[in-house]
Chains A and B, each alone.
Chain A
Amino acid sequence: MDDGEPLPSYEGIAAAFAKAKAKKEQEEASGLRARTGDAAAANKQGEVHFKASHNILVAFFTWILLLHVLGIYLFTSGFLLTRLVLDEKSECDVLPFGTPESYKPGSSEKGCWHPKTFEKAIVIIVDALRYDFTIPFTPADTEKAHHFHNAIPILYETAAKQPNNAFLLPFIADPPTTTLQRLKGLTTGTLPTFIDAGSNFAGTAIDEDNLVAQLFNASKRIVHLGDDTWHALFPGYFEPNLTHAYDSFNVWDLHTLDNGVTEHLFPLLEPANTGKWDVIFGHYLGVDHAGHRYGPDHPAMTAKLQQMDGLIRKMIKQLSDDTLLVVMGDHGMDAKGDHGGESDDEIQAALWMYSKQKLFGRSAPAFNTPPATAKDRPVPQINLVPTLSLLLGMPIPFNNLGAPIEEAFIGAKGDNYQNLAVVNHLAASQLHRYQDAYAKARGFDEKTRASSLSLWTAASDKWKALSAAKKPTKAQFQAAYTAFSAYQTETLSLCRSLWARFDVPRMLNGVTILVLTLVILALYARSIESDRVELTPALLSRGGIGTVLGTLVGGGATFAFPSLAGEHIIVYSTGMGGVLGAATAFWYIRRRILSPIPNSVWGWTSLIFTVALSGGFAANSFTIWEDEILLYFLCTFGLLMMLSSFRQKNAIDRALGIYHSVLFIVLTRLASFSRLCREEQMPYCKSTYYASATSSTSASWQLYIPYAVAFLLPTFIRTYYKGTSSHQGSAVLWIDFALRFGLLLAAAYWTLDAADDGEWYPGYSEMLKSTKVIIAQITLAIAFAFGYSTFSWAKPLLSIESKSKGTTSAPVISNGGTSSITILGYANVHGSRYALLITIWALAVFLVEKPMGAGAIGIATWQIFSLFEIMDTNKLSDTSVGPVVLGLLGSFHYFKTGHQATLASIQWESAFIPLRTIKYPWSPVLVILNTFGAQILCAVAVPGLVLWKQPPKKKGLLGDVAKAVSTHMLFYAVINLATTMWAGHLRRHLMLYRIFNPRFMLGAAVMLVVDAVVVFVGLGGTRLSFLSVAEVFGWVEGLGRAKEGRFRASHL
């Protein structure tokens, strides 16, 4: 405070200020207040210094965020390969190569692009039918017969004895060899990737062109029996009366599903019933389940395969002449009977086709015997789609990458190269059309596909020559066939390299950046001895220079060697440059680096619990049950904090600490009743988040929860402010009125929403809709517009009380004359000021969570304040426990707000809470606020851990905030690194796409969101809060030695 400026701070707080003014004069009179110009200049300097330090901190953490982005980008681009899904569909009467004039449009009656061979088809999938199960095995000295050998001989027998009726070939799956991904490949003819960009995230239904949809659109009646995965992929395509689906997840049950398929399949083969269907898809799971449960080398596998053998024999017997019978495995199994990866045993399935007519042939007599191993004459699984399409007279699906299978089209004599050339021309033309459309949509340049384009030109030339010739020779047909095959093979390998391969170097480089950034963050957060504010400039400048140099080097290398993958090199060298720069900075300040090994029970527990949680993500069970584990960990920390409170010598600290620790545990347990179970948790979990396990609307009793929070939460927060007499000034207006009103509006929103959903007032739907949207907008305006302006301009929550000398027993601040003054709220001036920001964000998150989640957010807010008290009474604000517990708390409430580590649990509808249509960027922001609301709230609270109950002039407070913030970032960085490494390491795991991959994506997304929030909201709020406090108390550095003895703060 100085004379040069017009009494800056005290005007705002009405009542206290008159007194304050008088006091101020009195203080000045008694020489208590600095009045010299020196102090004014020093104070100004202090402010400039603070702002500069703060900017550097923000820049430093943004730089860490950048490194995180680079690391995740590199890993993701090598791991989550994406493919654009095109909407185009092939049509029956439009040929893929431009319709010649002479062409009469085909029909699904006779065959669309090519005359059809079969009227009907029975496609039997024997899940996990490995190729070597089907071929005869002669025991030798070197290897004895296993249980899976010679148990299903029918396929080989027919193919070898009646080569014109049947053929058996190795059927090579594209990894990932999981049933869902395989079914996609087997019906669309394309390669699977984790994210088919453009498809609907929330559902699994296939929306690109596929064989089932083509059959359906041609009014074929399709029957499905068995594995219910088909229904997730093709909802509504199957004949409802004849179709029977069974649960596919119970791998312990070997028979229910198989018996169900058999029971419903054979009646359909009776002559009386064959008119009811055109195509049957039967999917047996027993072999797969026997593999998962017992492994392939087990009597159960023999029994299962023999059962399949008998069934196929029975099918052959009942088969009509115009029906094609296909039996195949969708993937194999490894030695333990599991699958999902890309080892030989997992990808080598068997394909067998059978017909009563003599239609099939071989290009050489030696091929009449099926291949002895899966290495000979293998057929890629995508070849099934064009083969079946053409045999059944369907157009080839638009996205197909496969080629017609030679044996099915070469004719019984094995010399019909004309037919082969025609069907391959069709398939290749469709492929070419697709490639053109894809390149256009994705913006590929010609260079990437140069090799395949040149093969296309060569093949087209051959075809033109053939068409021009009056009587083309067999050799010409054969040449055309070979040329189109070459084109298809080349294009397929091109697509495979683009879509279906993990890019391990990229993944490793990404992980390297993440590991090194983690080391930097860990050293910064826990191993620096002195004030972080002093050391950050060195780290930032060297790290920044390193980053720029790295980019330049990477850019130079790309320029010098254009053949290298440019963006990969630039990203990697940028990241590594930054890390190296920071390493030199750490070397420079090496004397101030302490051992990173924890030296207290708090350091150890923070470390152990973070590492234990991260390690657990390597196991699918621990990943599935993360919500319960977090409950367990949080209660354990609550218990530890209670034990620590018992150790406190000061009786008040002890009682408060015990009370708040117990409260923290009880609230954690209370929140845990809000659950949304993931599929894998069944049947040990009961969802309570919605009205029932199968609904996504709240029960009516749940609508009371937000009201309860609206009435109680502001009152509870007030008690935390009252404890230090900080409940005054702007806090009264904000907490008691604005916050409560906002919470009530949010509660009203959910009531209106339920009224609208449940049609409580039919006819008023439109009115309800617009009212609720307006209410939501007002709530957000209260939070962000009103709340932030209050937070920005509020004075510190202080008032001054004067008493005549001698009468007071209250904390005496200064004895200037005949009276003493007491500054109410002094003890928690930083904390009370900053914590307003937490309540602002709590209100915003509260609105976007459903009623049950709103209750969880209310509890989370309460827990945050309890945690502040625990940190204060146990003197833990300097330790890592606070930021780590907030990390656990945020992760815990993520689950309690109706989320899981699955894509399906994203609540997309939250985009429409304050909006009626999708609006960028607001809709994604709202979904993020809904999804990561709990983590965001806890991240905002991190500076509060340090600031709660700190006297205004404590030195190095900004550095302490930086320490807490970096520790919080460190927690999420460890989780992210662990989930990233597990996902990369377990990329061949059966559960990759169901469990590890979603958890990795969650970990990465949370880390980036928390990084951004903690830096821009948390540190940003700290700046506003500090500026406001300093307006009253001046800057610590600026006041230097004069500050001693000015105030005697006592613990209010």
Chain B
Amino acid sequence: MSTAAPTKPRAPATPIDILSNDTAKLYTHIHPALVLSLYAYQFRSIVADPVPALLNTLLPLAALQIGYVAVCLPPTGSGTAAGVEKKRPGEKKKVVEGGIGGKIIPAFLSLVLSALVATPILTATLVLFGAPVTTHHFHTLLCGAHISLLSTLPLVYVHGVDGHTWREVVALLLPIDEVYGGMIGTVMGAWLGAVPIPLDWDREWQKWPVTIVTGAYIGFAVGKLVGGTLLKGKKIMFE
């Protein structure tokens, strides 16, 4: 992953700002509500039979996410690489230049990358963390796919496939913004989602992988909100 040439000094990464038009500002708050509503709407059928229900939810989720990134976020290359683009007119200009094609193509590209690259990696991680190996393959794969669409799709859209940036993404070195916060929130939510599984409450919803996916959805909404407001621009310090 660390393929970036170390010789060239890079500008420090900056938090992603959502596009400054009114639609974007409004929709970025509507989007998590829509995602959660979608999940809430599907929840009963997911609990009843996870595989078909999760599969059916995948497409609407992808559509919502693509809509979100297209409406609210600057696609990769539109100013992040050149450092902070504070001037609003400049930014707007770029967006205008990009047009619909300049948004939809990166959006679909991020969908493909999330589906083909991030999903297997996340599924493998789920298995490493204790997901069943011999059974429930589709459950786990779909769980990975949902997490991947929630966490990775917007990130690919805004950061592209630059190796150096992705090393920073994994290393938690990027400053927090709503996209990065959404990713971290999704992962932490999915992590916390494992907590109720062992409890002896004998509830249907404790079945694999309902709690993980639920945690991921809630975590996405919380992370996105907190990352875009409270913690925006903060960096994660290990020491």
Interface residues of A (CB under 8 A from B): 252, 600-602, 619-622, 624-625, 628-629, 631-632, 635-636, 639, 643-644, 646-647, 651, 654, 665-666, 668-669, 672-673
Contacts and interface: CB of A to CB of B under 8 A. Distances in A.
A600 B170 contact: no
Nearest to B129: A635
B109 interface: no
A252 B202 CA distance: 10
A601 B237 contact: yes
A620 B171 contact: no
B121 to A, nearest CB: 12
Interface in B191-226: 191, 194, 198-200, 202
Nearest to B236: A601
A635 to B, nearest CB: 5
B173 interface: yes
Contact of A631 (B130, B167, B199, B238): B130
Most chain A beta-carbon neighbours within 10 Å: one of B129, B170, B171, B239 = B129
29 contacts: A600-B237, A600-B238, A601-B236, A601-B239, A620-B200, A621-B198, A621-B200, A624-B198, A624-B200, A625-B198, A629-B198, A631-B129, A631-B130, A632-B129, A636-B129, A636-B191, A643-B171, A643-B172, A646-B171, A646-B173, A647-B171, A647-B238, A651-B6, A654-B2, A668-B128, A669-B127, A669-B129, A669-B130, A672-B130
Contact of B128 (A601, A619, A669, A673): A669
Nearest to B201: A621
Contact of B238 (A602, A635, A654): A602
A831 to B, nearest CB: 23
A647 B235 CA distance: 13
Nearest to B128: A669
Nearest to A681: B198
A252 B201 CA distance: 12
A612 to B, nearest CB: 9
Interface of chain A: mostly helix, strand, loop or mixed: helix
Interface residues of B, number: 23
Q: List the 7 closest A-B pairs by CB distance, nearest first.
A: A646-B171, A625-B198, A647-B171, A601-B238, A621-B199, A621-B200, A621-B198
Given A651-B6, A672-B130, 4 more contacts: A624-B198, A624-B200, A647-B173, A647-B238
A625 B129 CA distance: 14
A1047 to B, nearest CB: 29
A624 B129 CA distance: 18
A898 to B, nearest CB: 19
A636 B195 CA distance: 13
A782 B66 CA distance: 65
A557 to B, nearest CB: 47
Nearest to B191: A636
Contacts of A632: 129-130, 194
Given A602-B238, A632-B130, A669-B127, A647 B198 contact: no
Nearest to B202: A252
Contacts of A654: 2
Interface string B112-134: 00000000000001011110010
Nearest to B125: A639
Most chain A beta-carbon neighbours within 10 Å: one of B127, B172, B202 = B172
Contacts, number: 58
Given A622-B198, A665-B128, A643 B237 contact: no
Contact of A643 (B125, B170, B191): B170
A737 B172 CA distance: 44
A669 B125 CA distance: 10
Given A635-B130, A643-B171, A672-B130, A600 B239 contact: yes
B162 to A, nearest CB: 15
Nearest to B171: A646
Contacts of B202: 252
B187 to A, nearest CB: 9
Contact of B199 (A600, A619, A628, A635): A619
Nearest to A642: B170
Contacts of A625: 198
Contacts of A673: 133
Contact of A651 (B2, B129, B173, B191): B2
A602 B239 CA distance: 8
Nearest to A644: B238
A870 to B, nearest CB: 13
A1038 to B, nearest CB: 34
A647 B173 CA distance: 7
Contacts of A635: 128-130
Nearest to A649: B6
Contacts of B191: 636
B225 to A, nearest CB: 23
A808 B237 CA distance: 40
Contacts of B198: 621-622, 624-625, 628-629
Contacts of A672: 130
Contacts of B236: 601
B170 A646 contact: yes
A602 B2 CA distance: 25
A669 B126 CA distance: 11
Contacts of A628: 130, 198
A385 B129 CA distance: 54
A646 B237 contact: no
A881 to B, nearest CB: 11
Contacts of A619: 199
A338 to B, nearest CB: 13
Contacts of B173: 646-647
Contacts of A624: 198, 200
Nearest to B6: A651
Contacts of B238: 600-602, 644, 647
Contacts of A252: 202
Contacts of A631: 129-130
Nearest to A647: B171
Contacts of B133: 673
Contacts of A644: 171, 238
B124 to A, nearest CB: 10
A636 B238 CA distance: 15
Nearest to B130: A631
A666 B129 CA distance: 9
B199 to A, nearest CB: 5
Contacts of B125: 639
A44 to B, nearest CB: 40
Nearest to B196: A621
A631 to B, nearest CB: 5
Given A600-B239, A601-B239, A647-B238, A666 B172 contact: no
A635 B125 CA distance: 9
B130 A647 contact: no
Contacts of A620: 200
A632 B239 CA distance: 23
B172 A647 contact: yes
Nearest to A638: B128
A396 to B, nearest CB: 42
B61 to A, nearest CB: 25
A643 B171 CA distance: 5
B231 to A, nearest CB: 15
Contacts of A621: 198-200
B21 to A, nearest CB: 35
Contacts of A643: 170-172
B239 A646 contact: no
Most chain A beta-carbon neighbours within 10 Å: one of B198, B199, B236 = B198
A666 B171 contact: no
B219 to A, nearest CB: 15
A665 B125 CA distance: 9
Contacts of B171: 643-644, 646-647
Contacts of A636: 129, 191
A619 B171 CA distance: 35
Most chain B beta-carbon neighbours within 10 Å: one of A619, A620, A669 = A669
Nearest to B237: A601
A107 B125 CA distance: 72
Contacts of B170: 643, 646
